[in-house]
Structure 1
Amino acid sequence: MTLANGDEVRARLVIAADGRRSVLRDAAQLPCRDLGAPIDGYWFRVAKARTPDNRTEGYIDRGQMVIAIDRGDYFQCARVIPKGSAEAIRAKGIDRFRRDVAAVAPILAEGIATLASFDDVKLLSVTLDRLTRWHAPGLLAIGDAAHAMSPVGGVGINLAIQDAVAAANLLAEPMQRGARLDGLCAAVQRRRMFPVRIVQALQHIVHVRVIGRALRVGSPRPPLLMRFFDRVPLLRRIPARILGLGVRREHISSPRTPSR
């Protein structure tokens, strides 16, 4: 592998874990399938007073959707928007942005003035894709480099760690023996592709049937699916368990490398 400064690094295996804009997967020309994501998000912080408990709240009202994650002395917020609408929202100015957010999420009204300009607001372009082949000779992609996840459920880091554990379990001992790795890299993909497909399918359903309907202009109420889960709290455990624990859990079983 050649670095930006021209130095060359030689290794039996390079792990591409450099995220959804992976230069390694692009350099290897690994084939990618774009699943489509109809949303983007504006991310920003809103100051708040500390409270005994921290809760994540979602607010939906008449085509607007705001998420507020309590981080103690501030909310980490996301205004979910239809893909392609970012510039139109920005053109209306930061004052209009603050008013719209406060109208949807009154809990943010007191601290929203801390947004001085759009320099305090970052656009997250949501991507949902996956490689159809995660590996090339001497290279294995994992995490977002292999499958870019939507922010829905906050599961990207979970899957990335599970990919890493599966890769270690399948590759560590053969690497110590000096075995060929190309076939084993394919085995990592076979093991991890199933949970990736399941989670991405769930995210796609949420994009279309929940968020898409919530962002529909003129819709005064949250989508039926969200109201159903709100009325039956026990059902909330199902998506929480799938997103929190994963579809195929990974446990470390790779051998320890002898200390030198």
Structure 2
Amino acid sequence: MSRSETTVIVVGAGPAGASLAYLLASRGIPVTLLERHHDFSREFRGEVLLPSGFEALREMGLHNIVTTIPHVVPTAFELYANGRPVFQVPFNADTFGSSPLTALSQPAFLKAIIERTRTLPHFRVELGVTVNELLRADGHVTGVALRGPSGDQTLHSDLVVGADGRNSIVRRACNLQAHKHGIDFDIVWFKTPLPEYIGDQAPFRAYFGRRHLLIAYPSADGFLQTAWIIHKGTYGELRRRGISEWIEEMAHHVTPDLATHLRAHKGSLTNPFLLSTVSDRVTHWSAPGALVIGDAAHTMSPVGAQGINIALRDVVVAANHLVPVLRQPRASQRIAAATEAIEHERTPELALMQRFQSIPPRLVMGHTVWAAAFRTMIPRLLQFEMVRRRAAATALPTFLFGHGDVRLQV
């Protein structure tokens, strides 16, 4: 078994892990990035970049990557209730400023970040490796034991950062307990060819009604991405009925143009799968010698497309606290203080965002009298401009721009 050392080990080369590795290495901190996959040519879900995430990339100096990879800038948001149009809002500078909502190719995005980071002398990346356990000494995490193409090895560090998603090995090995926030539901997730009705537009559509919610938008790879949000545990029955029947079920909840498109392509869905959603947050983000960020610290509901954006904001805050202490020798106590400060600074935004995310599913899919009344009245009320403005002013700024000022200070 071979042994090597670095200052920071980042487990997981998703948006949080790759961008944190870039920031640390670009500030002279030796960092090793570990990823269990051999490449990034696989299906990702968090591919919508909001102004909050775009601004975090701008702070890191990585925002120009977006224009060099496949991406789509939606032209408008269209809301439908029970298959009927409620309103359409153009995506323009008045709403988004200089950071438009962007559907990007996450595989291309991650590859571009890592290729840029490879040019830095303090960076090393290992793909196709699996972290089996964390190393410990005197109650502190001191590195990882991993298996890769060259066999078993140990890698020692001053800090291990878990950016390895909702099933994080770092989170589990450190016994970081999480509490759920909001309700669980399932998402039927698939792609079809772009429908003819889109033309040269790129609308972001949302359909709700009869306790269903469906979202469809053009993806960066030239397909129509569809997410059908259903009640937890109901997918088994749909699958037993066959694709034709659940496509027909979806068709009953959307406009005729999308319904015709879904029926025409029911035999050629691309990458269909069931995503079991959860919204949770660890009660503590760190243990001695270890830290979790991104989905490893807080699994976000897909409502409001917050996952990648919140993760990028985590990275900026983490770099602000970690870089100064990691530049100093024998910094274990200062590292512990820094990881606690990261949690303290990030928790208010996470708590607020997860609270906001929990509201739409309860209203759109809930069984209560209040939820039923909402589904009946809201389509009528949203036809009035004043109501739309008031509703947008309540939560939209938080969803788009985040809560609190996140600026890179190192």
The bucket for the TM-score relative to the shorter chain is 0.7 to 0.9
Which of 192, 199, 204 pairs up with 1:56? 204
Q: Deviations over 1:206-257 (max 9, x none)?
A: 221234369x99x698354565445333232442211111112311111xxx
Which of 146, 167, 172 pairs up with 2:318? 167
What SS is found at the alignment partner of 1:59?
Answer: strand
1:80 corresponds in structure 2 to: 229
User: Take 1:158 and 1:167, find their aligned partners in 2: how far apart are those partners?
Assistant: 14
Asked whether the equivalents of residues 61 and 220 of structure 1 are also in contact (C-alpha less than 8 Å), the reply is: no
User: Take 2:160 and 2:383, find their aligned partners in 1: how far apart are those partners?
Assistant: 45
- Please report the TM-score for the alignment, with normalisation by the length of structure 2: 0.57
2:328 corresponds in structure 1 to: 177
User: Take 1:109 and 1:212, find their aligned partners in 2: how far apart are those partners?
Assistant: 24
Following superposition, the deviation at residue 162 of structure 1 comes to 0.7
User: Take 1:117 and 1:45, find their aligned partners in 2: how far apart are those partners?
Assistant: 9
> Percent identity between the aligned chains?
31
Question: Letter of the aligned partner of 1:33 in structure 2?
Answer: H
Question: Letter of the aligned partner of 1:181 in structure 2?
Answer: I
Structure 1 residues 230 and 82: alpha-carbon distance in aligned structure 2, compared to 1, 3 A threshold: farther
Q: How does 1:77-156 map to 2 (within 5 A)?
A: 77-105=226-254, 106-112=256-262, 113-116=264-267, 120-156=271-307
User: Take 1:53 and 1:117, find their aligned partners in 2: how far apart are those partners?
Assistant: 23
Asked whether the equivalents of residues 167 and 188 of structure 1 are also in contact (C-alpha less than 8 Å), the reply is: yes
User: Take 1:118 and 1:239, find their aligned partners in 2: how far apart are those partners?
Assistant: 34
Asked whether the equivalents of residues 115 and 121 of structure 1 are also in contact (C-alpha less than 8 Å), the reply is: no
Which of 171, 175, 179 pairs up with 1:29? 175
What SS is found at the alignment partner of 1:104?
Answer: coil
1:7 corresponds in structure 2 to: 153
Which of 186, 189, 197 pairs up with 2:343? 189
Question: Letter of the aligned partner of 2:319 in structure 1?
Answer: A
Asked whether the equivalents of residues 94 and 117 of structure 1 are also in contact (C-alpha less than 8 Å), the reply is: no
Unaligned runs of 5+ in 2: 1-143
Following superposition, the deviation at residue 121 of structure 1 comes to 2.1
User: Take 1:226 and 1:171, find their aligned partners in 2: how far apart are those partners?
Assistant: 48
Unaligned runs of 5+ in 1: 255-260
| CA RMSD of superposed structures (Å) | 2.6
Following superposition, the deviation at residue 160 of structure 1 comes to 0.6
Stretches (4+) displaced over 6 A: none
Aligned residues: 252
Question: Letter of the aligned partner of 2:189 in structure 1?
Answer: W
The answer to whether structure 1 residue 251 and structure 2 residue 402 are counterparts is: no
Residue range with higher mean Cα deviation, 226-235 or 155-164: 226-235
Following superposition, the deviation at residue 69 of structure 1 comes to 1.4
Question: Letter of the aligned partner of 1:242 in structure 2?
Answer: T
Residue range with higher mean Cα deviation, 6-15 or 114-123: 114-123
